[in-house]
Copies of this chain bind each other. A is one copy, B any other.
Amino acid sequence: MPGDFTLALNARLDRHPGLFVGTCDEQGAGFAADAYARLTGIGVVLVTWGVGGLKLVNSTAQAWAESVPVVVISGAPGIAEREGDPLLHHKVKDFGTQMRVMEDVTAMAVELRDPVTAPRMIAEAFATARRESRPVYLEIPRDVVGMPAPPLPDDLPGPPVTDPVTLAACLDDVVARLDEAERPAVISGVLVARLGLQADLDALARATGLPVAETLLGKSSVGSDDAWFKGVYAGALSSDHEVRALIEGADRVLVLGAYMSDLNTGMFTAGIDRAATIVAHQGITYVGTHGYEGVGVADLIRGLVALYGAGGPVAPHVPRPRPPFAPRPGAPLGADAVFRALHAHVGPGHTVLADPGDALFGSVALQVEESGFIATAYYASLGFAVPGALGAGLARPDRRPVVIVGDGAFHMTALELGGMARVGVHPVVVVINNQGYGTERPMMDGVFNDIPPMRYSRFPAALGSGTGVQVDTEDGFDAALIEALADTGRLRLVEAVIPRDDISPGLAALTAELRKRVTRDA
């Protein structure tokens, strides 16, 4: 998103056609860059100072919370302009406000004042974003743009080397415990995807035959069609009873790069005995109650593959059958039917983006491609999925974005759909219209959960892009979804009208748990 403090930077971007992609609002730009980074390993969002950068605090906080390597770049007033501390437009308390705020939500925040040191700082910022899988922030005074600078350094220190003695001891310990276990299992978390360990984990599963479940935030770190994939484990919110029985009945669980957050564990309903787990994070691995410092999840997975072997050649990709959906003609549409239809038709060739709320909880069981599912399943910022589709469509043009979003979340960022066609992104958008914030009603209801009714099927006409349809029966939704998925060259919006208080079984279990906490104090 341009602004007068970034124009000199924008003009340089124009020299690289395709690199610049505009959005309607900075919030949308931040979310699009986040989704792009989840799929490619880096995403960059460029905004102006103050009115631009301060709109990115929430999306950058999301990137921090969910370990996404987003590089936030902001233009800023020129150093020379600041003389005498004038009241330049977009200024808040002083020229440092935005830098201080960004320090609170990034792993590294620097101002590029000096062209001599700028290339090293830029290289370090990108390296930090990749190494820590966290957002970083670069602020560029506009009069620094264009100054002569030395080349990017090629002598940056590499990532810390893992101590081989500690690593060997850790691997011995882990292998011994896995070998002695009778019912071992793996939980794959978000860092498997963020650190690019999917192929390594696949090799480990092939070699060992270990069954693999995922966390909700880690969903699609393993492809749903892989033989070793068993589903999403999240305590009471798990995708099915079998995966819950598998994990809670295991006598040794290998937890790889997973955050044990409230939503990720079904509001802490996950029942795993800590002494029976091996938990690998970034930079430390715990075997039961003792830890191996410096041994990170990448070290562990790759070390195990080296010991067990890679398990032979990769098998050809054969999609597992989806459970068929037989809509009842004329039957009123409900949440359960929406997700059963989605389960039957969505997955192969798609990047699914599910917004927080029932759009996410109802999607737990969807069978998706590896890296084919994106959701803010920990930070839970509504409105991410629509702009996220822009980033996902650009990152993986071979996979069409399929957005699943509630009406409340759609109200936040729907306009971003208007700009996608011009860069060749044509999502399918399923708007689940349950007339308000349905995730909150079971916890505590009131007029604050009502939202103004809009005519979602008319949005494409207003945005000048694609077509929309409103359906309220099972067969109507099924047919509209099939037609939308077949029409790949333009935005297709399907508004699924369901009863006001209809929620998915997963959400019912979750909100029962949440309600206890809200009403206890009300």
Interface set of A (CB-CB < 8 Å, partner B) = 2-4, 7-8, 10-11, 13-14, 20, 22, 24-25, 27, 50-51, 54-55, 57-58, 61-62, 64-65, 78, 81, 86-93, 97, 100-101, 104-105, 142-146, 259-264, 268, 378-383, 411-415, 418-419, 421-422, 437, 440, 443-444, 446-456, 458-459, 461-465, 514, 517-518, 520-522
Contact between A412 and B380, CB atoms less than 8 A apart: no
29 contacts between A and B (CB under 8 A): A4-B440, A8-B444, A8-B522, A11-B522, A14-B446, A14-B447, A20-B448, A22-B447, A24-B452, A25-B413, A50-B58, A54-B57, A54-B105, A64-B92, A86-B261, A86-B268, A87-B262, A87-B264, A89-B262, A89-B380, A91-B379, A97-B105, A101-B105, A145-B522, A412-B415, A418-B452, A419-B451, A458-B458, A458-B461
Partner of A440, one of B2, B446, B464: B2
* Residues of chain B within 8 A of A50, CB atoms compared: 58, 61, 379, 381
* Residues of chain B within 8 A of A415, CB atoms compared: 411-412, 414-415, 454
Bound-state CA distance A55–B28 (Å) is 12
Contact between B104 and A100, CB atoms less than 8 A apart: yes
Bound-state CA distance A518–B145 (Å) is 10
Contact between B521 and A61, CB atoms less than 8 A apart: no
Partner of A412, one of B11, B22, B25, B454: B25
* Residues of chain B within 8 A of A449, CB atoms compared: 2
Known: A25-B413, A461-B462, A463-B455. A88 touches B262 (CB 8 A): yes
Contact between B93 and A105, CB atoms less than 8 A apart: yes
Known: A104-B93, A104-B101. A462 touches B452 (CB 8 A): no
Quote the shortest CB–CB distance from A202 to chain B (angstroms): 27
Closest to A511 in B: B4
Partner of A448, one of B2, B57, B263, B517: B2
Number of copies: 2
Contact between A10 and B92, CB atoms less than 8 A apart: no
Contact between A462 and B451, CB atoms less than 8 A apart: no
Contact between A142 and B89, CB atoms less than 8 A apart: no
Closest to A420 in B: B452
Partner of A261, one of B25, B87, B97, B450: B87
Quote the shortest CB–CB distance from A100 to chain B (angstroms): 5
Bound-state CA distance A448–B16 (Å) is 12
Contact between B65 and A58, CB atoms less than 8 A apart: no
* Residues of chain B within 8 A of A91, CB atoms compared: 65, 379
Partner of A7, one of B144, B263, B444, B456: B444
Bound-state CA distance A142–B521 (Å) is 7
Bound-state CA distance A8–B451 (Å) is 18
* Residues of chain B within 8 A of A64, CB atoms compared: 92-93
* Residues of chain B within 8 A of A456, CB atoms compared: 462
- Extra contacts besides A7-B440, A22-B450, A92-B105 (14): CB < 8 Å: A10-B444, A11-B446, A22-B452, A25-B413, A50-B58, A54-B61, A57-B101, A78-B517, A92-B379, A143-B520, A412-B415, A414-B415, A452-B463, A455-B464
Contact between B419 and A452, CB atoms less than 8 A apart: yes
* Residues of chain B within 8 A of A105, CB atoms compared: 54, 92-93, 97, 101
Bound-state CA distance A414–B61 (Å) is 25
* Residues of chain B within 8 A of A104, CB atoms compared: 92-93, 97, 100-101
Bound-state CA distance A459–B437 (Å) is 23
* Residues of chain B within 8 A of A25, CB atoms compared: 27, 383, 411-413
Bound-state CA distance A452–B22 (Å) is 9
